[in-house]
Protein backbone atom coordinates (compact mmCIF):
# COMPACT_ATOMS: atom_id res chain seq x y z
CA UNK A 1 0.00 0.00 0.00
CA UNK A 2 1.07 3.55 -0.68
CA UNK A 3 1.23 5.64 2.48
CA UNK A 4 1.71 9.10 0.98
CA UNK A 5 2.01 11.05 -2.25
CA UNK A 6 5.18 13.13 -2.63
CA UNK A 7 5.18 15.96 -5.15
CA UNK A 8 7.69 18.66 -6.03
CA UNK A 9 5.05 20.90 -7.62
CA UNK A 10 2.70 21.77 -4.73
CA UNK A 11 -0.86 22.91 -5.36
CA UNK A 12 -3.52 24.44 -3.14
CA UNK A 13 -5.73 21.41 -3.74
CA UNK A 14 -3.17 19.08 -2.17
CA UNK A 15 -1.36 21.15 0.45
CA UNK A 16 -3.63 20.31 3.42
CA UNK A 17 -4.15 16.62 2.66
CA UNK A 18 -2.72 14.50 5.51
CA UNK A 19 -1.11 12.01 3.13
CA UNK A 20 0.47 14.47 0.72
CA UNK A 21 4.03 15.71 1.14
CA UNK A 22 4.87 18.74 -0.98
CA UNK A 23 8.44 19.84 -1.58
CA UNK A 24 9.91 22.74 -3.52
CA UNK A 25 11.05 21.77 -7.00
CA UNK A 26 14.80 22.10 -7.37
CA UNK A 27 16.16 21.39 -10.82
CA UNK A 28 19.75 21.17 -9.61
CA UNK A 29 21.74 18.19 -10.82
CA UNK A 30 25.34 19.36 -10.27
CA UNK A 31 27.13 20.80 -7.26
CA UNK A 32 27.38 24.17 -9.02
CA UNK A 33 23.70 24.13 -9.93
CA UNK A 34 22.75 23.21 -6.36
CA UNK A 35 24.81 26.11 -5.01
CA UNK A 36 23.34 28.54 -7.55
CA UNK A 37 19.81 27.34 -6.75
CA UNK A 38 20.42 27.70 -3.02
CA UNK A 39 21.69 31.27 -3.43
CA UNK A 40 18.81 32.14 -5.78
CA UNK A 41 16.19 30.73 -3.39
CA UNK A 42 17.74 32.51 -0.40
CA UNK A 43 17.82 35.82 -2.29
CA UNK A 44 14.20 35.43 -3.42
CA UNK A 45 12.94 34.48 0.05
CA UNK A 46 14.76 37.48 1.56
CA UNK A 47 13.29 39.78 -1.12
CA UNK A 48 9.81 38.41 -0.37
CA UNK A 49 10.20 38.91 3.38
CA UNK A 50 11.72 42.40 3.08
CA UNK A 51 9.92 43.83 0.03
CA UNK A 52 7.00 41.53 -0.76
CA UNK A 53 8.52 40.58 -4.13
CA UNK A 54 7.32 37.27 -5.59
CA UNK A 55 9.41 35.60 -8.30
CA UNK A 56 9.26 32.07 -9.75
CA UNK A 57 6.31 30.99 -7.60
CA UNK A 58 4.18 28.01 -8.51
CA UNK A 59 0.96 29.40 -7.05
CA UNK A 60 1.46 33.18 -6.69
CA UNK A 61 1.63 35.77 -9.46
CA UNK A 62 4.97 37.45 -10.16
CA UNK A 63 5.04 40.79 -8.31
CA UNK A 64 7.98 43.18 -8.20
CA UNK A 65 7.38 46.81 -7.19
CA UNK A 66 10.30 49.17 -6.46
CA UNK A 67 10.29 50.54 -2.91
CA UNK A 68 9.24 54.11 -2.21
CA UNK A 69 10.10 56.12 0.89
CA UNK A 70 6.82 55.03 2.46
CA UNK A 71 5.55 52.07 4.42
CA UNK A 72 4.70 48.85 2.55
CA UNK A 73 1.66 46.65 2.95
CA UNK A 74 1.29 43.18 1.37
CA UNK A 75 -2.20 41.72 0.96
CA UNK A 76 -3.10 38.24 -0.28
CA UNK A 77 -6.71 38.16 -1.38
CA UNK A 78 -9.29 36.37 -3.48
CA UNK A 79 -9.26 37.48 -7.10
CA UNK A 80 -12.76 38.99 -7.10
CA UNK A 81 -14.19 42.36 -8.17
CA UNK A 82 -13.84 45.39 -5.86
CA UNK A 83 -11.01 44.07 -3.68
CA UNK A 84 -8.75 46.99 -4.61
CA UNK A 85 -11.62 49.40 -4.01
CA UNK A 86 -12.22 47.98 -0.54
CA UNK A 87 -8.53 48.00 0.35
CA UNK A 88 -8.01 51.59 -0.84
CA UNK A 89 -11.21 52.72 0.93
CA UNK A 90 -10.01 51.34 4.28
CA UNK A 91 -6.64 53.04 3.79
CA UNK A 92 -8.25 56.37 2.81
CA UNK A 93 -10.69 56.28 5.73
CA UNK A 94 -7.70 55.80 8.07
CA UNK A 95 -6.03 58.87 6.51
CA UNK A 96 -3.37 57.04 4.50
CA UNK A 97 -2.24 58.38 1.14
CA UNK A 98 -1.26 55.68 -1.37
CA UNK A 99 2.15 56.35 -2.93
CA UNK A 100 2.23 53.27 -5.15
CA UNK A 101 0.16 50.13 -5.65
CA UNK A 102 0.54 46.93 -7.66
CA UNK A 103 -1.99 44.11 -7.92
CA UNK A 104 -1.43 40.88 -9.83
CA UNK A 105 -3.50 37.73 -9.97
CA UNK A 106 -3.10 34.07 -10.83
CA UNK A 107 -6.32 32.15 -11.08
CA UNK A 108 -8.44 32.67 -7.97
CA UNK A 109 -5.60 34.29 -5.99
CA UNK A 110 -4.42 37.91 -6.09
CA UNK A 111 -1.48 39.62 -4.40
CA UNK A 112 -1.39 43.35 -3.73
CA UNK A 113 1.50 45.57 -2.65
CA UNK A 114 0.67 49.07 -1.42
CA UNK A 115 3.09 51.79 -0.33
CA UNK A 116 1.59 54.50 1.91
CA UNK A 117 3.10 57.68 3.36
CA UNK A 118 2.57 56.92 7.04
CA UNK A 119 2.81 53.82 9.23
CA UNK A 120 -0.31 51.68 9.46
CA UNK A 121 -1.89 51.32 12.88
CA UNK A 122 -3.27 48.05 14.23
CA UNK A 123 -6.86 49.31 13.84
CA UNK A 124 -6.36 49.85 10.11
CA UNK A 125 -4.70 46.44 9.72
CA UNK A 126 -7.60 44.76 11.51
CA UNK A 127 -10.10 46.49 9.21
CA UNK A 128 -8.14 45.25 6.20
CA UNK A 129 -8.06 41.70 7.60
CA UNK A 130 -11.83 41.86 8.13
CA UNK A 131 -12.55 42.41 4.41
CA UNK A 132 -14.30 39.35 3.01
CA UNK A 133 -11.83 37.65 0.68
CA UNK A 134 -8.65 38.99 2.31
CA UNK A 135 -6.50 35.98 3.22
CA UNK A 136 -3.53 37.74 4.85
CA UNK A 137 -2.18 41.21 5.56
CA UNK A 138 1.38 42.06 6.58
CA UNK A 139 3.45 45.20 6.87
CA UNK A 140 7.00 45.27 5.55
Q: Report the interhelical angle of 122-129 vs 83-93 (nearest 10°).
A: 160
User: Do 109 and 68 contact (CB within 8 A), yes or no?
Assistant: no
| Structural domain includes residue 66 | no
Domain tally, the chain: 2
Q: Are residues 46 and 82 in the same domain?
A: no
Q: Are residues 80 and 126 in the same domain?
A: yes
| Structural domain includes residue 85 | yes
Q: Are residues 83 and 130 in the same domain?
A: yes
For residue 29, the model assigns a pLDDT of: 64
Task: State the residue range of the domain holding 125.
Answer: 71-139
For residue 12, the model assigns a pLDDT of: 77
Q: Are residues 78 and 135 in the same domain?
A: yes
For residue 92, the model assigns a pLDDT of: 98
Q: Are residues 47 and 81 in the same domain?
A: no
| Structural domain includes residue 21 | yes
Q: Are residues 81 and 114 in the same domain?
A: yes
Q: Which residues of the chain have pLDDT under 70?
A: 24-29
Amino acid sequence: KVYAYVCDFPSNLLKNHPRVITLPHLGASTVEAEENCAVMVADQVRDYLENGTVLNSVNFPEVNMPRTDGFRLAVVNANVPNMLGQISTVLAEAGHNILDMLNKSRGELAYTLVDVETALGESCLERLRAINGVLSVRTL
